[in-house]
Amino acid sequence: MRGLVAFGFHPMGEAVFWFLFLDWRFYCFFKKIIWSDKVLRLTYF
């Protein structure tokens, strides 16, 4: 019973981990794009 519960919750926890991890990576990626966009606008305009 304990093994079944662990097996049932492990993929769910892994999915949540990957969701947060990818969300953090996309956040940093978009932050870089926004920052470079601001720098380009300040430099060229």
What is the domain range of residue 4?
1-45
Q: What is the pLDDT of residue 44?
A: 66
> How far is 39 from 45, CA to CA, in rounded Å?
10
* pTM for this model (two decimals): 0.38
Q: What is the pLDDT of residue 32?
A: 87
Q: What is the pLDDT of residue 43?
A: 74
Our count of domains for the chain comes to 1
- Compute the 3-state secondary structure of the chain and give helix, strand, coil in percent, each to the nearest 5: 95, 0, 5
Q: What is the pLDDT of residue 1?
A: 45
pLDDT digits (tens, 9 = 90+) for 5-45: 555 556 666 777 777 788 888 888 888 888 888 887 877 65
- Locate 2 and state its tokens: 């304990």
